[in-house]
Chain A
Amino acid sequence: MTRLVQLPFRTAVRERASRWRLVINDRVGQLRHATQELPKFRLPKPTPLGIGAVFVVLAGMYSFGIGRARFQANSDFLVRQPMAPSMVAPSVIGTSLGSPTMLGSLEDGRYLAVYLHSPEVMARTFQQLLAEERYRRQGWDLLAGLPAKATGDQQLDFFRRQVQVWPQELSGVIQLTTTGLDAATAQRLNQLLLQEAKAFVNEMNQSISREQLRFAEQEVERARVRLNQATGQLNAFQVRFGQLDPVQESQATSNYITALEAKLVELKVEEASLRRQFRDGQAPEVQLVADQVEELERQIRDERAKLVSPAGRDLSGRALEAKKLQNDVTFATQALQASMTAVENSRMESQRQLKFLVMLSDPRQPDRQDWNWRWQVFLGTIGVLVALWGVLSFVGGIRRRT
């Protein structure tokens, strides 16, 4: 029953749907026809000039429209020593190279340029500056500022782009330029970096001279210990053998032996003359002198043996050892003197080489934004396009030929 009722309804719906379809098709056909009669809109064919123009327009839009204002703060300073170091050797082109003070400042400026771009400096200054807040990206400009949740590398890259340290080769003046998205940030960053530079110059020099002084003082202590040891050994030696000076003693013994030998020669001459006077060789006069000669010879032999043999007093061996100990003492004394001079020198050096940061111009808050970068981006784009056009048309010409 229900089926019978529904059937006509279904067919009615179908009929109506097909009628609508016809109507829609008809309308679409009319529209198609109408659009075919209209002039067709086509994208212009890309020509080199057109592509270049698009780039120039984009660069112009960015640099003079979208790009946020950047502010720059500048400061100039010099690193100086109170006393100028000794003159460098004059060269053929001498005068153009400048004074030693300037060269020293230039050298320090080069170190500073590296130091001020280091991650530690970035970490400290960004923390004090609340950089994530001040350099946050805003508005349409997607190139300026620090992206939210920037990684460490991104932060460092960004920091290095904001800070420029230029040691001037001719004057030795170090120029520090900082960039910020508002005037106060640029100035504040510059001030913070100047503080870092001052701390660096002082810390570097003081730590070097401290290190030198410490080393020299260690050397003095070591030399003193060595001198004490050497003196102690010499003393112990003298106490052990009950002698003040073995060298002199052995000298004295030698002299004694020489005297005995002279005496021996005299007695031998006397003995010979007595033997000529008396027929009997066994006469008491002769025998007396002969006995004396014999005794003297024994004495000399004994003394000689004592002088050198280890069993005896071994004077020459002891003299040698005493000489060695004496040398040790002399050497240690000289070393102590030298190291004490070094301490004195390094203390003086550490005072002499203290360096100071001399401010030539303090950073001031810029009144108006920096326009340089806008022109640089715009003209740089044109320049790159012209260079590209030159090279590409040249290569294109070759390709057409070949």
Chain B
Amino acid sequence: MFDSVRLQIDIVRAIAFREQRERIGKSQFGALGLLLEPLLFVAAWMALRIVIRAQGSEFMNPALQFGTGFVLFFLFSTIALRAVSGVTKSQRFAELRRVRPLDVLMAGALVESQVYGTCLALVIVAVGLVQWQLTVADPGQAVAIFFLIVITALGIGISALVIGHRVPLVKLFVKLILRRVLFWTSGLFFSIVNIPDYVRPLLLWNPLLHGIELFRHALVPTYPIPGISLPYLLVWAFGSIGFSMLVYGNNEQLLVSEEVSQ
């Protein structure tokens, strides 16, 4: 039992290492670029948001608020989009029988969580240095929510991939939601408190909004989160990953896409 778990972990770590090396090779700035690219991307969006309306929230430091929002959103959307795109043949390790497509997806998720997790840590530490006070009230909760977001992304991505093979429209639809709809409704630019009561229930369907707001609440306990609930995020995380495992078991071979992933 322990050995098989150990083996599984080793396989995922090995693929993750290989992928990290690959990405460093592709990146223009080498190893630094792996961190710098998403950070610059996030910083550009953040700057845009802060410049457009030169004030942030009154509840927490604006850089911390928008930084956590953007990093967590890109973490979610990158993992989910990669899962939706499936595993290309070059990634598949066809010669290794033990390596399953799911391992590749998990390794991808691991690398992304490491990249964006490091970005998040950098943002929090940087804001802490500027304020001369590190604002992490509940690190355990923050880390748990980070992983719940990763699990939800993986679950939604794999489910959409499998269903998308039967109904291609679903795949397209999910990609559209991941890229556009979630971007505007996940609390990247706003806090849920500032949303009028008649719109709030609509936004509260979005699990990522719950994740991002809960993460901010874990950093600053006075940050108000009306209507946000941890159980809702938990149901989404474990519901989606459970469903994806269910459909994955029957459709494993479908996960290997013919064409190069986009």
- Per-position 1/0 for B64-92, Cβ under 8 A of A: 00000000000000000000000000000
The distance in angstroms between the C-alpha atoms of A390 and B150, with both chains bound, is 13
Supposing A394-B114, A398-B20 touch, asked if A170 and B226 sit within 8 A by C-beta, the answer is yes
- Say if the beta carbon of A401 comes within 8 Å of chain B: yes
The distance in angstroms between the C-alpha atoms of A289 and B222, with both chains bound, is 107
Contact between chains at A166 and B222 (CB < 8 Å): yes
- Which of A166, A170, A378, A397 is close to B20, meaning CB atoms less than 8 Å apart? A397
Contact between chains at A398 and B24 (CB < 8 Å): yes
The distance in angstroms between the C-alpha atoms of A401 and B20, with both chains bound, is 9
- Say if the beta carbon of B187 comes within 8 Å of chain A: no
| Chain A interface residue number, banded | 20 to 34
Contact between chains at A383 and B196 (CB < 8 Å): no
The distance in angstroms between the C-alpha atoms of A390 and B114, with both chains bound, is 6
Residues of B191-211 whose CB lies within 8 A of A? 193-197, 200
> A96-B193, A390-B118, A391-B118 provided; 16 other pairs, C-beta below 8 A?
A93-B194, A95-B196, A169-B59, A379-B144, A380-B140, A383-B143, A383-B144, A384-B143, A386-B143, A393-B114, A394-B20, A394-B117, A395-B118, A398-B24, A401-B24, A401-B31
- Which of B30, B139, B195 is close to A387, meaning CB atoms less than 8 Å apart? B139
Supposing A380-B140, A383-B142 touch, asked if A402 and B194 sit within 8 A by C-beta, the answer is no
The distance in angstroms between the C-alpha atoms of A384 and B143, with both chains bound, is 8
- Say if the beta carbon of B34 comes within 8 Å of chain A: yes
The distance in angstroms between the C-alpha atoms of A390 and B113, with both chains bound, is 8
The distance in angstroms between the C-alpha atoms of A396 and B87, with both chains bound, is 26
5 nearest A-B residue pairs (beta carbon)? A379-B140, A383-B143, A383-B140, A394-B114, A169-B224
- Per-position 1/0 for B136-148, Cβ under 8 A of A: 0011111110000
Residues of B130-168 whose CB lies within 8 A of A? 138-144
Chain A nearest CB, measured from B41 CB (Å): 18
Closest to A175 in B: B222
The distance in angstroms between the C-alpha atoms of A260 and B142, with both chains bound, is 104
Contact between chains at A380 and B139 (CB < 8 Å): yes
Contact between chains at A96 and B140 (CB < 8 Å): no
Chain B nearest CB, measured from A391 CB (Å): 5
Contact between chains at A401 and B21 (CB < 8 Å): yes
Query: In the assembled complex, which residues on chain B have CB atoms less than 8 Å from the CB atom of A206?
Result: none
Contact between chains at B197 and A96 (CB < 8 Å): yes
**Number of interface residues, chain B, beta carbon within 8 A:** 32
Please report A residues at the B interface, Cβ cutoff 8 Å: 93-96, 166-170, 375-376, 378-384, 386-387, 390-391, 393-395, 397-398, 400-402
- Say if the beta carbon of B17 comes within 8 Å of chain A: yes
- Say if the beta carbon of B126 comes within 8 Å of chain A: no
Contact between chains at B222 and A169 (CB < 8 Å): yes
Query: In the assembled complex, which residues on chain B have CB atoms less than 8 Å from the CB atom of A167?
Result: 222
- Say if the beta carbon of B44 comes within 8 Å of chain A: no
The distance in angstroms between the C-alpha atoms of A318 and B184, with both chains bound, is 80
- Say if the beta carbon of B170 comes within 8 Å of chain A: no
Contact between chains at A382 and B24 (CB < 8 Å): no
Query: In the assembled complex, which residues on chain A have CB atoms less than 8 Å from the CB atom of B196?
Result: 93-96
The distance in angstroms between the C-alpha atoms of A394 and B154, with both chains bound, is 20
Closest to A396 in B: B17
- Say if the beta carbon of B221 comes within 8 Å of chain A: yes
A and B contact pairs by CB, cutoff 8 A, 10 listed: A93-B194, A93-B196, A96-B193, A375-B140, A382-B143, A383-B140, A383-B144, A386-B143, A391-B118, A397-B17
Closest to A94 in B: B196
Query: In the assembled complex, which residues on chain B have CB atoms less than 8 Å from the CB atom of A400?
Result: 17
Chain A nearest CB, measured from B195 CB (Å): 7
Query: In the assembled complex, which residues on chain A have CB atoms less than 8 Å from the CB atom of B222?
Result: 166-167, 169
Contact between chains at A387 and B31 (CB < 8 Å): no
Query: In the assembled complex, which residues on chain B have CB atoms less than 8 Å from the CB atom of A394?
Result: 20, 114-115, 117-118
- Say if the beta carbon of B172 comes within 8 Å of chain A: no
Contact between chains at A402 and B221 (CB < 8 Å): no
Contact between chains at B224 and A384 (CB < 8 Å): no
The distance in angstroms between the C-alpha atoms of A96 and B192, with both chains bound, is 10
The distance in angstroms between the C-alpha atoms of A387 and B196, with both chains bound, is 36
Most-contacted residue by chain A among B31, B113, B121, B226 (CB, 10 A): B31
The distance in angstroms between the C-alpha atoms of A397 and B17, with both chains bound, is 7
The distance in angstroms between the C-alpha atoms of A381 and B139, with both chains bound, is 8
